[in-house]
Structure 1
Amino acid sequence: MDCEKYSELFTSWIDKALPPAERLKLEQHLSGCPGCRAELEAMKELWIEMGEMETPAPSEHMQVKFEAMLNTFKEEAADKTNAWANFKNALAQLWQWQPRLPLAYSLVIIMMSFACGYWVFSMGKGGQQDKQLATLSSQVHELKQTMMLAMLENPSASERIKGVSYTSEIKHVDQQVIDALFATLNNDPNVNVRLSTLDALSQLSNHPEVRTGLIKSITQQDSPLMQSAIADVMLKLQEKRSVNSFKELLKQKDLDKGVRNKIKETINNLI
């Protein structure tokens, strides 16, 4: 046991780094321990041989290679710095005007996706993981719905159209979303927004309240484009309950002639 303890001091003894008291104890031990003396001598010889080894001269191309590696490192570091600066500038510019809401929506979705991946791999398996995923899925759904409703109130018609388009990303549309879409369909001042909303609602025709709402909207449309488009939707859905609403629309004296003919044709196809 003592030999093992003293052998740990050999390196310091060779380097002359041992305190005097420990050096004295080691030398006293060596005087009575042939094994440790032999081990120390072997270590000293190895130490001397290592000291006498020649250091190989660097290759004549070493400096060139080193400088090339250094320049490459600097360029990569500069590229990363510039990329980050460009990214921050782009974000700052994008954040200045109306695209704030869609950008925020995209960024939060990305962050929540990363959070989803983190939870999947760090929160364990089984029921706990499923619970975490269900919670995240619900939060993402609420976020999409909130963004969509907010964008429908945007002064820009193009932004309202984008808001309508987010409907396709909402898996489970609730009554609040449906009501907001119908408010847009019946009241938005821009006909293109109303046409986009009509298309979105037609994709939700599996909801009975959507079909009923579309029928009620027939008589509320004053644009020939909307009147023709909603006739096409009712024909596509084969919604026979819309016939009475179309007949009411035909009673309007100022109804566009082309729309009148189209509605008559639609009624005949639905009966």
Structure 2
Amino acid sequence: MKDDKHMSCEHTKGKLTEWLNNNLERNAQMEINRHLAECLSCQEEFAADKQIWDGMGKIRIPEPRGAMRANFYTMLDEFKETEKAAARFSFQSMMESIRDSIPAQWTVPQWTLQVGFSLLLVGLGWVIGSRTNRSTPNVAAYQQQIEALAAQVQDMKSSMMLSLLENPSATERLRAVGYTSEIAQADDRVLEALFTTLNNDPNVNVRLVTLEALTQYAGEASVREGLVKSLALQDSPMVQVAMADVMVKLQEKRSVKALKSLLKKEDLNDLVKVKIEQTIKDLS
């Protein structure tokens, strides 16, 4: 009788994926439901797998972002149009734009703002002085000055993001990762901090958002290599599934070896195993 029950459990688990997808015939569905009603062990396993399955459907697969400087040049074009229409340089408008670019809910040290805005004032003074002292402004030089000013703002944003990633609050770390959408070109410090978060953060949601953020920079070979290496470090089924999706989206064939190694883990979730096997087929 015990052997019959074991056979029934194995048969039931073999139909798990079809059961979750509602692809079973009615008789087979009823047979599994009857077994689940009698077997507490299968009930618990099916409930856990269904939770992961439902979560997989909610994962947003990030698209690699191109033209990372587009937002900045859009702002620059708008600024040039304003210059044509205005008779003088609008200091107040520029300061309000910079102030609004920093989320209001973030608290940063007063000295950080003082130093940052001091740099901006110096930059603006340089721009105004150049325009005042030259009867025929050099457009190329003026654009370089604006780009230098924007680079200073980008550096301030990067510094704030790095600081918030060390916050003990998962909510604050989520905000920090989300701030990468405003960092057009991530330097080595930012990328290293993001990979540290992806590989070590105790919160699964923070890791998922970090994965999406890193995918924005997947045009860089070092980022793609880091994502492949990260596969072996993930223990959450949700993150493992999300990373498999990213590998397919990026068509990162170098990940096949790492995915095969992941399949050898004894405690690998059954649904994750099915997902990874399909991912390997898609990349092969």
What residue number does 1:198 align with? 211
What residue number does 1:101 align with? 108
For residues 195 and 184 of structure 2, the distance between their equivalents in structure 1, rounded to whole angstroms, comes to: 18
Question: Quick check: 1:258 aligned with 2:258?
Answer: no
Code of the aligned partner of 2:222: E
Deviation at 1:243, TM superposition (A): 0.4
CA displacement, residues 178-212 of structure 1 (integer Å, 9 cap, x when unaligned): 11100000000100000000000111110100000
Question: Quick check: 1:123 aligned with 2:130?
Answer: yes
Deviation at 1:119, TM superposition (A): 5.5
Secondary structure at the aligned position of 1:245 is classed as: helix
Question: Quick check: 1:153 aligned with 2:160?
Answer: no
Question: Quick check: 1:229 aligned with 2:242?
Answer: yes
Preserved CA contact (<8 Å) 1:112 1:140: no
Q: Which has the higher contact order (CA 8 A, sep 6+)?
A: 2
Unmatched segments (≥5 aa) in structure 1:
1-93
Secondary structure at the aligned position of 2:186 is classed as: coil
What residue number does 1:269 align with? 282
Task: Give identity over the alignment, percent.
Answer: 48
Preserved CA contact (<8 Å) 1:235 1:269: yes
C-alpha change, 1:122 and 1:183, in structure 2 (3 Å) is same
For residues 12-23 of structure 1, what are the structure 2 equivalents within 5 Å? none
What residue number does 2:232 align with? 219
What residue number does 2:15 align with? none
For residues 230 and 141 of structure 2, the distance between their equivalents in structure 1, rounded to whole angstroms, comes to: 46
Question: Quick check: 1:186 aligned with 2:199?
Answer: yes
C-alpha change, 1:128 and 1:204, in structure 2 (3 Å) is closer
For residues 112 and 220 of structure 2, the distance between their equivalents in structure 1, rounded to whole angstroms, comes to: 26
C-alpha change, 1:106 and 1:246, in structure 2 (3 Å) is farther
C-alpha change, 1:234 and 1:104, in structure 2 (3 Å) is farther
Preserved CA contact (<8 Å) 1:221 1:227: yes
Compare 227-236 and 106-115 and name the one that shifted more.
106-115
C-alpha change, 1:99 and 1:229, in structure 2 (3 Å) is same
Structure 2 length normalisation: TM-score? 0.55
Deviation at 1:129, TM superposition (A): 3.2
C-alpha change, 1:156 and 1:105, in structure 2 (3 Å) is farther
Larger radius of gyration between Structure 1 and Structure 2: 1
Secondary structure at the aligned position of 2:108 is classed as: helix
For residues 99 and 107 of structure 1, the distance between their equivalents in structure 2, rounded to whole angstroms, comes to: 16
Deviation at 1:267, TM superposition (A): 0.4
- Cα RMSD between the aligned structures? 3.0
What residue number does 1:171 align with? 184
The runs of at least 4 aligned residues of structure 1 exceeding 4 Å deviation read 102-122
Code of the aligned partner of 2:226: G
Aligned residues: 176
For residues 103 and 256 of structure 1, the distance between their equivalents in structure 2, rounded to whole angstroms, comes to: 48
What residue number does 2:222 align with? 209
Deviation at 1:141, TM superposition (A): 1.6
Code of the aligned partner of 1:138: A
